[in-house]
Structure 1
Amino acid sequence: MVIGVQPASAANPIIPDRFVADPSAHVFNGRVHLYLTDDQTNSGTYWDSKSWRSYSSSNLVDWTDHGDIFSISGFSWASQYAWAPGATERNGRYYLYLPVDRTKIGVAVSSSPTGPFTDARGSALVDKARDANTGEEPIDPMIFTDDDGSSYMYFGTRTPKVVRLGADMVSTTGPIMDVGLSGATKYGEAPHVHKVGGTYYFSYSTGWPGQIHYATGSSPAGPFTYRGVLLDYVNVNTNHHSLFQYQGQWYVAYHKNALEGGGNHKRSV
């Protein structure tokens, strides 16, 4: 150990030249990959961007920009609102779960974590007009795969939802269920699940503006019991996080207003 040498640390925001938000963070093939909403191209008066972006890093300091990795036009059945993405890997294929139109969630697939991605189904995985119990807005999808290989998608505003995914990762198995949550808290949006040992951690934004709270349970579908605050209020009216473990350390990615010209619709990760 060399005394007096500090470990490298990333500047915040980690993307200094573009407005991006809603990080979904994953470790694929030894690199951290972030999948993001592209605030740079929205109107500045609403979250109306039409594509998603990706960045990756091997040291959390230097980030490679992979550009637009998928856009609304890649879904023939969708028209607007490229909102907070989710991602996962299974059997060497990479899946993006993408909320569109405020009413649907689609899936795009690739053989590489940086794309190109294509529509995996030709239709929505979740559709408010078609499916029961989608809630007010089926948005903010997040995928968790348990130790037994079972995968679950969490999503929704105001009432958290969960549905089990098929082994193909592009279909659902069983009904959409409410996630049970108890204690001194309220759920707004941005669900996230991770597991340490036998304990499942369910974290989420409490609203607009919101803190990130967390709760614990013994099952991926809950019920979960409130435990405390993970991340305090940020200086925009949305709060959206992603937890990941890299090289033995736990991190949280999140967004806020951190660049000149930023604000509620022009956020930074």
Structure 2
Amino acid sequence: MVCRTFFLSVSFLFSIVCFGQSGNPFIRDMYTADPSAHVWADGRLYVYASHDIAPPRGCDLMDQYHVFSTDDMVHWKDHGEILRAAQVPWGRKEGGFMWAPDCAYRNGVYYFYFPHPSGTAWNSTWKIGVATSRNPASDFKVQGYIQGLESMIDPCVFVDDDGQAYFYYGGGGTCKGGKLRDNMTEIDGEMKQMEGLVDFHEASWVHKRNGLYYLSYSDNHDSAGQHNRMCYATSRSPLGPWEYKGIYMAPTDSYTNHGSIVEYKGQWYSFYHNSALSHFDWLRSICLDKLYYNADGTIQMVNQTHDEKH
């Protein structure tokens, strides 16, 4: 997330809008961003999202993570709020700044990872918090934060076929990755710079297909009214080095983008956010579209749909 100063009209500040539900964006009764999608053992697809609070004040008011799930990619259940800044014992007393999260599962426990500052000087005090639950969408309790990390954001956890979990995070042009211990709350060894990425900005996400690892992320593109594009690189190792492959999603109508890629019932999907409902950068909405691969494993450009059912 990159904060920008902006102004809102009085009429916009005091407007209250309610939305129905169909097509993209697929959540319309609240503003959401940074969708982290996972398929768990119960057969449902879950999306862990950050929450843009209206009226916005840049990205600092973000708070109150929600979880949504589906079993048909059309009908979505809002499981409600699972965590807010006020529940983080080590967090900044001013609250807010609950940015892009992720979730992982091991041995009956769901691990929810979230970035949050521990001080008023938020940009230099980021920590990656960990909350746990026996349920995928409720009863999360903050356990602490991952020790020894730099002040960066956008946690991503990828669990490989052999059960080894890997942790990635970054921001501001830096992306690092490393192994997680079995307890899922400690780094095993040192974090390593992810080499081979081109114009990395933030929003790292790792998935695997046919033995090939994919690291997707948003770039720094910002010219002529165009904003973050979603790019990707591939490797035969979960920690690289990576080979840059290009862009798989053009800019949306939002200054930022943050996505995840997941397979569900034989179809791959790209999750992302835009500002289609609010037409404003910091009131975003999560979307999804089908994602396709070429025969050589490269990703085709995602066709961003609007108000279309999947």
- TM interval, shorter chain, is 0.7 to 0.9
C-alpha distance in 2, partners of 1:57/1:235? 26
Instruction: Tell me the equivalent position of 1:228.
Output: 246
Unaligned runs of 5+ in 2: 1-21, 118-122, 287-310
For the 8 Å contact 1:41–1:49, the answer to whether it is kept is no
Aligned partner of 1:125 in structure 2 is 146
Report if the CA contact (8 A) 1:236-1:256 is conserved.
yes
Contact 1:257 1:268 in 2 (8 A): yes
Shift of 1:180: 0.9
- Tell me the equivalent position of 1:266: 283
* Cα offsets for 1:178-210 (capped at 9, x unmatched): 11125xx31000001111122111111002631
Q: TM-score scaled to structure 2, two decimals?
A: 0.77
> In the alignment, what sits opposite 1:149?
163
* 1:42, distance to aligned residue in structure 2 (A): 6.4
Deviation at 1:263, TM superposition (A): 1.4
2:36 aligned residue (4, 15, 24): 24
* Counterpart AA for 1:212: M
SS in 2 for 1:53: strand
Matches within 5 A, 1:198-209: 198-207=211-220, 209=227
Give me the whole-angstrom Cα distance separating, in 2, the residues matched to 1:257 and 1:125.
32
Deviations 1:109-155 (A, max 9, x none): 000001110012xx3214xxxx36x2xx4111011011121111111
Contact map agreement 1:47 1:265 (CA 8 A) in 2:
no
Residue number in structure 2 paired with 1:13: 25
How many residues end up aligned between the 2 structures?
A: 249
User: Are residue 113 (structure 1) and residue 136 (structure 2) matched?
Assistant: yes
Do structure 1's residue 94 and structure 2's residue 71 form an aligned pair?
no
- Give the Cα separation in 1 of the matches to 2:50 and 2:272: 12
| In structure 1, distance between residues paired with 2:195 and 2:60 | 29
Give the C-alpha shift of residue 41 in structure 1: 5.0
Report deviation, 1:222: 0.5
* Structure 1 residues 17-61: Cα deviation after superposition (integer angstroms, max 9, x where no partner): 111000000111111101011113563433422221111111111
Is 1:166 matched up with 2:181? yes
Which residue pairs with 1:245 in the alignment? 263
Say which SS state the counterpart of residue 24 (structure 2) adopts: coil
Q: How does 1:53-64 map to 2 (within 5 A)?
A: 53-64=66-77
| Structure 1: 4+ residue segments shifted above 6 A | none
Please give the alpha-carbon distance, in whole angstroms, between the structure 1 residues aligned to 2:26 and 2:80.
15
The answer to whether the 8 A contact 1:215-1:227 is kept is yes
Taking only the aligned residue pairs, the percentage that are identical comes to: 37
1:6 alignment counterpart: none
What TM-score does the superposition give when structure 1 sets the normalisation length? 0.88
Residues 67-113 of structure 1 deviation map (CA, whole Å, 9 limit, x = unaligned): 11111122200123100001111112111100001511000000000
**Deviation larger for 104-113 or 43-52:** 43-52
